[in-house]
Structure 1
């Protein structure tokens, strides 16, 4: 089997959905499983709904209306008004309304997962219906009946044994299958999610469980570039990346490949292709066992809006194992992802993601035990296979607050000018 994954940009409007159909017709549809994300920026739109609902804002109704109209405008360009897909979408929107009316839980992460899933459910219903309309037979299924996880809402861990068993015994491999990325379910059938950008991971899960011949992630770029073209004007296509190198890049925050996607593929040596849905005839990038990097050039990874924290003991004692292990436990408890570590005798510095907005609570918890200095809104630049020229090119962008260099990688925390 082949696994294809189409992200939000590839299904953001009617023309792009038609293009997905063209890609499938060109590539062939037999023994293919297609994982699809929410349309366009709909994940952000659903997050707005979640926040309005959770905070009891009067903006909830208009934000729901925006989502409904967005999808129905796309449907209006693809279907006749009496097409059965309208009923399917109405049922999904009704389920969303039922949850908003009946939910009594105050747990934000739980509420988040029960609402956010409708982005993927809506997009896949619409794409599946359009493919059927133009004669591409396909089987739509709810991924929550196949991928099973624990109950760690918003960052659930896969129950591999159960997921493998279900996929092996339930999935019809001969058909073109259409399903959702990012979402799953726990043992009580509540929706869970695999972390932001988790649709790539969903593709990796199915590839592993099905012993797929390949995974292809269809993007609006030509493949994996050596730098983000939104940040750097001069970029180069990487034609080949080894699993090891790709995992390193993902660890440091390269956005084209989700960090968790690569491990299951590497275990079974399943190649991953990153190709352009705009120029689908191009080969793109291959991630597989073999040559580390082709061409072998410096690669730049940027993580914006980080928090740089410097922690020291109030009595100026050494920052040693017991202090550091305690701080790491707190970072874990508050879901603060560490992207850089540096320590000296009396201070310990970390650069973190604050994606769950829990840094302030972390600070309040630790400030009576440690002296904590921090700076929000900094950027973390990582350069793989750096040279002196590349380091200079980054430090010219602002004030370097912290620099760390090892054999293969340079990391610079920068406050922009």
Structure 2
């Protein structure tokens, strides 16, 4: 069986954690062909990617030595771990590689300081370095544990467009390159250790895949290599029925459908980014979420099918604003909804939820809190004539709200689910500001005040005995 497995930043954040990763890979390799995808190191006192991005922005403000200040810390972080994991000769070779990469970034930092400008293309060079450093460390640790391994930059494999900071893969070219580069290694018994998060344009310019990019890298490679399964090693025992910080009695789910996972990811479950699931759904490749620090736990299996229960989990998106556009003249005003959403798109705001009454006199939608001011400004410009004619009379913004999502593919066609959700809200004396349900019936979403959000999650969790 061919398995592509990804280890997140905390799973590779220390020598002890990396030692655990090596043990997992070594055991898995006895029965499977294994490809490993890694994130940058996230140590308690040094989050690599955040540190690199901060240095890039400091350089743009004229601090030419910004990277020179953080380079010794990054070198020390990786070499201290290496000293515990690999023999001296391997450590010496690794240190040479790391110093070369850090020196290049220091040169780039000084150039940015002279120009006084940080382009998205340059920022991608900075933010993707952590994965490049860590892939080499993990490969050295695997070799020291008796596992043949080779570090590979995903710039050789994942070909993307040139949307720096949030690039999309060009799948046919990525598939050809990945298979040509990785399949011979697998046939030779070598474990490729691939950098997550990064790719490159057709001309070889490095890019990054945006939020959740390392998980996305793993699913892209899983699809390209026709993996039998793709495993994401996290710090939790699979996907939980709710955030355990909010609901202490939350439990891990044994199985989920693709659609359930996608809904949970979209609505705030910090397990997989929504776009991660797509390449694997298209090829019907099962996903497993497992715990690096509790590898005996089976975790959660995600695949085709429909849940055998009604609601499966409840999750929430915090720091949301609810925007309402209303006025008596909106009734029957052709194209007004389209213009509202075009204006929001110009503001580059992400609409999380939409609700409209059948009277058509108002449209309300939720966007991330930080994106609301720009969205409102664009709406006022777009609807200026309608305001003058009093067709539209108000644009109201309600900050400090949360979206609560109840997810379960078994909810489809089951009477009484919505009643149970809102009954739970009534018993908890929580006011529901807005309601939405997708046409798939896999999700019932409601908006409540931020002050009531956690209690709303707990009330629904109790009501469905999740």
TM-score, normalised by the number of residues in structure 2: 0.80
Does residue 383 (structure 1) correspond to residue 414 (structure 2)? The answer is no
Relative distance call for 1:259 and 1:105 in structure 2 (3 A) is: farther
- Residue 19 of structure 1: how far off its partner (Å): 0.5
Which of 339, 342, 346 is the aligned partner of 1:329?
342
Aligned equivalents of 1:320, 1:113: Cα separation in 2: 45
Which of 31, 38, 50 is the aligned partner of 1:36?
38
Greater Rg, structure 1 or structure 2?
Answer: 2
Which of 196, 205, 208 is the aligned partner of 1:193?
208
Aligned equivalents of 1:269, 1:277: Cα separation in 2: 24
Would the aligned equivalents of 2:160 and 2:168 in 1 still touch at CA under 8 Å?
Answer: yes
Aligned-partner SS, 2:298: coil
Q: Deviations over 1:118-168 (max 9, x none)?
A: 121111111111212232210211101110111112221211121112112
Structure 1 unaligned residues grouped into runs of 5+: none
Would the aligned equivalents of 1:218 and 1:275 in 2 still touch at CA under 8 Å?
Answer: yes
Aligned-partner SS, 1:52: helix
Would the aligned equivalents of 2:48 and 2:130 in 1 still touch at CA under 8 Å?
Answer: yes
Aligned equivalents of 1:182, 1:319: Cα separation in 2: 47
Relative distance call for 1:408 and 1:178 in structure 2 (3 A) is: closer
Aligned equivalents of 1:366, 1:100: Cα separation in 2: 39
Report what 2:100 is aligned to: 91
Structure 2 unaligned residues grouped into runs of 5+: 384-393, 409-416, 452-466
Aligned equivalents of 1:268, 1:367: Cα separation in 2: 44
TM-score, normalised by the number of residues in structure 1: 0.88
Does residue 411 (structure 1) correspond to residue 445 (structure 2)? The answer is yes
Aligned equivalents of 2:315, 2:199: Cα separation in 1: 29
Report what 2:126 is aligned to: 115
Relative distance call for 1:323 and 1:154 in structure 2 (3 A) is: farther
Report what 2:299 is aligned to: 284
Report what 1:71 is aligned to: 78
Moved more, 295-304 or 10-19: 295-304
Aligned equivalents of 1:112, 1:397: Cα separation in 2: 47
Would the aligned equivalents of 1:398 and 1:416 in 2 still touch at CA under 8 Å?
Answer: no
Relative distance call for 1:319 and 1:195 in structure 2 (3 A) is: farther
Does residue 46 (structure 1) correspond to residue 52 (structure 2)? The answer is yes
Would the aligned equivalents of 2:28 and 2:34 in 1 still touch at CA under 8 Å?
Answer: no
- Residue 358 of structure 1: how far off its partner (Å): 4.8
Q: Deviations over 1:264-285 (max 9, x none)?
A: 2122221111111122122211
Aligned-partner SS, 1:367: helix
Report what 2:325 is aligned to: 311
Instruction: Work out the number of aligned pairs and report it.
Output: 413
Report what 2:413 is aligned to: none
